[in-house]
Structure 1
């Protein structure tokens, strides 16, 4: 691979590649769930928090900030009282959501086999 090709894409196998931070944000438990929750529509913070069971307010805020900084989520604040903020996926975020959706779907459909493997059995075929 030429130097110009290396500069045009990340190298996840390299310890100092910034793409690892993006990978961490996108594939974290909360990152995947936020991307999936925003995949179909714009949502408010409270709606996201109710939709994503188990996420704390702090973790949701941090995850949204990471995904926004990575260019995957767009935050729109409206100058009204009380404050109104919407979150939606950017075109890049929609691409990421599509990819993590595939992984999430695979996990959900493979869950019986995964649980059987954890329990030491062969699992259903």
Structure 2
């Protein structure tokens, strides 16, 4: 008997340029980091992602988006949860050089769940 593998739900607040690159991937992968972006940081709760997209991305990029996606739980367990502020401000810090491998462990497609302008 084969069961479904366990997944972890993550969210990613993003701006228009990054979202365009995700769309170009067929909603299957995050784009490589820019040189000034050594870490890819998905977040662990939707509320935190909404706050970043709405309050930061809109201000800096004119629009903010929240995506949701699933990652193989066994794989993602290698990244310890980072508390980046208050107790609900939780992120995973994925080194840029590991992003391609991280993308390979995304289960299904990245979904757009909120849009702010």
Instruction: Output the TM-score relative to the length of structure 2.
Output: 0.28
Q: Which has the larger strand fraction?
A: 2
Q: Which has the larger helix fraction?
A: 1
Larger radius of gyration: 1
Q: Which has the higher contact order (CA 8 A, sep 6+)?
A: 2
